[in-house]
Chain A
Amino acid sequence: MKKLTKILAVILVLALLSPSVAAAAVDTVQPLSSAYLASYSVYLIISGTTVRSHFRVTGMSVLEEIGAKEIILQESPDGVTWTDVATFSYTDPAYASLMIASGKQVFNSNVPYEDGIEGYYYRAYVTIWGGDGTNGDARYAYTTVKQI
């Protein structure tokens, strides 16, 4: 009887503690709302051996900076093990205008990679960005996998 009482007491304590633990955990998770970003999507379009990493970003309003800060293209022979084959950055003058726009609320763009291998799989890891020049929000997203 004593043992049963002890077990019940432990269960009761755990039950009382669990919501507190859960609430504490929730407090550490930041809400994902954004004052800058409304929606975004990323995807690949393949044409021949050219792999284009596309992104579309929509701001809550007209933004000073809107687009993608970085795109890492990855390839895989089997769809399991992945290797970075190209990194595109908005700091690179060759891609700056393709990746970040100014004074826009919606921005569609893409960057090309022309050395794709037939039969290989590709995906891109994109850093979405929306900001006012000083502050902003970044989001990270993978494209779906495409095969050449």
Chain B
Amino acid sequence: MQEAKIKEAVCQQNFSKLETAQLEELLRMDYEDIAPLDSETISAITTVLAERHKDVGKIKPADEAFAIFKKYYLPTSTKTVEMEELEPTLSSAAQSAGKPPLVQKTNPWRFVRNCAAIIALIFAFTAVIPTAFGLDNVFTILGKWTDSIFSFMKENIPDSETKNDLNDLASVVNAVCDTTAVVPTWLPDGFTLYTIESYGDEACSSVFATFIKEEQRISFQYTTLYDDQTISYEKDSSCVSIYTTNSQPFYIMNNDDSVFCTWASGNIECHIFGDIAPDDIFKIIDSIYTN
């Protein structure tokens, strides 16, 4: 009996005689491809439903409306409708009905959270995970290519001779200052150890070393102080820049148009100076804590 009534309504395109539940059932069957309807029929059904909803004339409270939505519509959808998408609609509907807008439950920290998560993922995939697997930090690897070949170059890794010489410096500093945590592991390519000497008395002990490359030279001085003496570093009138890494401040300044760096690690005063490009001073500093 009911089915006949429904068929008749469909044939006549007169859905006002059907109950709301029957109309909704027709839409559901269409959605699930059990009994597909043409677009005109769907339009006619939704028009009738809209009219009936208008008859109700009242917008339900947000919680009640959402409960209805979850009960009747959400199960049949693919659950792609998010609460945040629904709420503005409810809010504007409430406004049009002369009611105060609904309080939106969007989380203001969501954007910040998402950004932080994306940054963390990028950091993990480029820095942490490669290092954990014994690979080099992705940021240290750059590509170089010609018309015919491509290869990766590791810009922050010094050539083997420079690296060996830095190891020699670290050994002497370790013997005199009892630490290697002040010696860099990177210098610009081509610099080799030219001279290294140590000195000690009751007041201090120090290591001085110079690396050279043709006419260029970079010098290191590490001085462990046992009393209240002060070391004065020559500088010009330009500002002192403070570069902090691993909670260690490094003081970068200029003397005679060349950049130099000094810092104190406990009672060890460290001084790197010479023919250093401004960008290279940061690479040298950054390499100190990669031991």
Contact = CB atoms under 8 A, between A and B. Distances in A.
Co-complex (A, B): yes
Interface of A: 29, 31-35, 37-43, 45, 54, 56, 58, 60-61, 105-106, 108, 110, 139, 141, 143-144
Interface stretch (B112-120, B153-161, B171-179, B224-232): B224-232
Interface stretch (B15-23, B101-109, B130-138, B197-205): B197-205
Contacts of B206: 56, 108
Interface residues of B, number: 33
Contact of B234 (A39, A41, A56, A144): A39
A33 B234 contact: yes
B8 interface: no
A34 B229 contact: no
B203 A45 contact: yes
Main secondary structure of the interface of A (DSSP, over half): strand
Contacts, number: 85
Contacts of A35: 256
B208 interface: yes
B239 to A, nearest CB: 13
Nearest to A61: B217
Contacts of B39: none
A45 B273 contact: no
Nearest to B227: A43
Contacts of A54: 201, 203
Contacts of B210: 105
A56 to B, nearest CB: 7
Interface in B207-231: 208, 210, 217, 219, 221, 223, 227-231
A58 B203 contact: no
B260 interface: yes
